[in-house]
Amino acid sequence: MNRMMEAAAAAFQFLSRFPVSREIPFTPEVQQRSVVFYPLVGGVIGLTVALLGWGLSYALPAFPASVITLAVWVGLTGGLHLDGWMDSADALLSHRSRERMLEIMKDSRVGAMGVIACMLLLLLKVSLIQSIFELSGGDWKQEALLLVLAPVWSRWFMVHAMYRWPMARGSEGLAALFSGLSSLRRLQAGLTAVLITIGVLITLWLVTDSAHAWSTGLSALVIAPFLAWLIGSAVAGRMNRRLGGLTGDTYGALNELLEAAILLFVVLLLQDW
């Protein structure tokens, strides 16, 4: 297996439950190369979810179809990012000292704040997915474009966060694998996200005769990454000030937050289509 294939396999093995038959070395060198493919993992997850939603729309009303779609979405990630969201909520909403918050994140048990944050996030996401299905009128081409944006750009921001902010635990913890991530890797991940989004937009342009849909999709290409950067930077900066850096849990929490934020942006866009 060449280095590029190994890095791509490592990204899918780490961030998803898509089957990867080969055993990939779990080393900092391999994991740092794999971040280039994080947006690709998000794109495959997003496309899978969009196609599933399209199929379910023929058999079920929008709400149960949305619940099943979200359940599969979470399942495709193994709940990895959702676990980080809950752990981060337990820690950051506890208003404890930095040291105590880091201890709470390492605890495998979930507290009340984590459960509340999880329920609210899932309720928001399922309502947004339902809104996308209803506003797009069952047109899977629109769903594919707009749903893919969320997991692609949220995972790009994870890479940006690894580069931009220090590790809260230094050389300890999962996040330490990505310590010293180069600007080149961040740039390559960004280019991957842009290419995936352009590819979906070109596909939309080829299969739709709506100039307005194309122009709206083009604006989404520009606004979605800006939103991911703006919201993600504000929240990550706040986390950094409270924790003295970021952790693997906070990366997952940022991913979940940005997926919801981009889905909300998609719903606002669709209202004008």
Is pLDDT of 9 > 80?
yes
pLDDT band at 1 (very low <50, low <70, confident <90, very high): low
pLDDT tens digits for 80-108? 999 999 999 999 998 888 899 999 998 88
* pLDDT-above-90 percentage for the chain: 57
Tokens of 92: 């950051």
In this prediction, residue 92 carries a pLDDT of 94
- Give the start-to-end residue ranges of the domains of the chain: 38-270
- Note the Cα 271 to chain centre separation in Å: 23
pLDDT tens digits for 116-144? 999 999 999 999 999 988 887 656 666 66
* Contact residues for 191 (Cβ-Cβ < 8 A; gap 6+): none
The residue with greater pLDDT, 135 or 41, is 41
